[in-house]
Amino acid sequence: MITFRHLKQFCTHSFIAVSTLTLIGCAQPLSTTKTATYSNVDNYNTTLLQKTLPYIQSNPNKTAFYPLGDGQAALLARLAIIESAQKTVDVQYYIYRDDATSHLLTWYLYQAAERGVRVRLLLDDMQKRDDQFLANLSAHPNVEVRLFNTFGNRSFKPLSFLTDFDRLNRRMHNKSIIADGVFAITGGRNIGDEYFSANNNVEFGDFDLLMMGKVIPQVSRQFDEYWNSKPATPIEMLVTDAHLPTTAQLQQWKKAQKQYLTSDYARSLKQHPMAKKLSNQTLPFYWADAELVYDTPYKVKHSQDDLLLHHLSTMIGQAKTDFLLISPYFVPTEPGVKALVKAAKRGLNITIVTNSLASNDVFAVHGWYAKYRKEMLENGIKLYEIKTDPHIKKKHSWLGNSRSSLHAKTFIIDRKKVFVGSFNFDPRSAYLNTELGVIVDSKPFSDIFYADLDQLLEKSAYRLSLDSNNDIIWTDDTNGKQFDSEPDSSTILKMGAWLAGALPIEKHL
């Protein structure tokens, strides 16, 4: 059975349509003959390194972090490190939209290439993109584009699932961007309007880290490992005619960016507090011990060696007092619930924040998560589900705004160790997709989350509990109103989630 999360970009949300795509055969990926390149370039004379070197030398063996919980701040940080780069920019994402903010970031990358910066762009091949545009971008002497785990059918990718499901069902979910080997950004965000507070219809509440210091070479090595792996295919192998953009195309592109830079969103970017902090170099970084953890790229070939899941499971198993989990797609599975219940019974204070059915953009995930809610509540595990209420007005945060869907992926152990990355607590992140994250050992950094957590949850989430009949109720703590079924959700949506929970698809979610 095909996974709903991946095919929703290609198909309708009809269960009948999606269910027709089944596993048949095992076609081989395209040939991947290519030249290996690496991150170990001379960056000593770059402005970025020279400006940060005194801070790095004053904090040896430490990593600096600045949290990016606001969508606009997250975009500004990316544009700033690209614009400041003088040697290299490496970009790795699962989703890279064809929309305004994506075009703006691509324009910054092209301008960097024009300055002589080497740009490497590694994208998962799941999304629908214009191969010709990417090939033309890659035709620039300072730009290389590669696609990860490519589809054979370039015109209509879903057809490839019919003969190559097992391979194509495994995707590169990693998210990173590195400038001059000095600054890196990683976390839960992809590239697209909904991740940067630029979509009027929906916004993903998400969380990233802007980093410098000891962990950066680890991020670069991770990128190199994926970039040079067999599943990474140069775009030139998929397109027969690649050429530099014409003068007319560049002028049209430049005109479009100028128009966008005069938009209301762009004006709000310029007025954002982050813009001033970046220009004045006054970002208040946190310095701490950190470790990068990630899956091998050959996880897409069924490799179970050194899974990120193993690192995270060990870390969670060492928790002594508190475990706070924030995950948009939470499918704990039966063994996972047993482990959580066992930990709760030994006294661990467990709080889980995830999407409600109304705010979840993948109702099949909610259908399977819902099967485990009652058992967790019965054993003292606290559950919160994000609201979707257009009448609530509040600031952007990692929980998102009033029209949002939670997308941040983080957890905190004992109010000290913080994981931030791409890993969802579901079978797909555990066993199918490749994932990336960083573990920060810092109580002050952890305190960022806990400082206003109760207030945020009260405004942004429903608190779940059991009534006298042992049935689930949802409480809105802002007004005391209670619901005895999935709030803000239509009957059809509830039926769809229930049906998804009855289908044998958990391992694909």
Provide the annotated active-site residues.
173, 175, 180, 407, 409, 414
Token pair 């954002």 is found at: 272
Residue 124 contacts by C-beta under 8 Å, 6 or more apart in sequence? Answer: 93, 94, 95, 147, 148, 149, 171, 172, 173
Q: How far is CA 378 from CA 29, 337, 340, 350, 481, in A?
A: 47, 12, 12, 13, 22
Task: Please give the structure tokens belonging to residue 345.
Answer: 């019974």
> Would you state the structure tokens that stand for residue 385, as one six-digit string?
């589900």
Euclidean distance between CA atoms 377 and 379, whole angstroms: 5
Contact assessment for residue 377 and residue 472, using Cβ atoms and an 8 Å cutoff: yes
Give the separation between CA 284 and CA 452, rounded to whole angstroms: 19
CA nearest neighbour of 323 among 424, 233, 411: 411
Cα 190 to Cα 172: distance, rounded to the nearest angstrom: 12
Cβ pair 424, 327 in contact under 8 A: yes
Distance CA 144, CA 138 (A): 5
Across-strand partners of 3? none
Q: Which two tokens stand for residue 12?
A: 């309708």
Q: How far apart are CA 148 and CA 237, in angstroms?
A: 12
Beta-bridge partners for 349: 322
Residue positions counted in the chain: 509
Instruction: Yes or no: say if 375 and 344 are a contact pair by the CB < 8 Å rule.
Output: no
Residue carrying the six token digits 């301008």: 111
Q: What is the DSSP letter of 370?
A: G
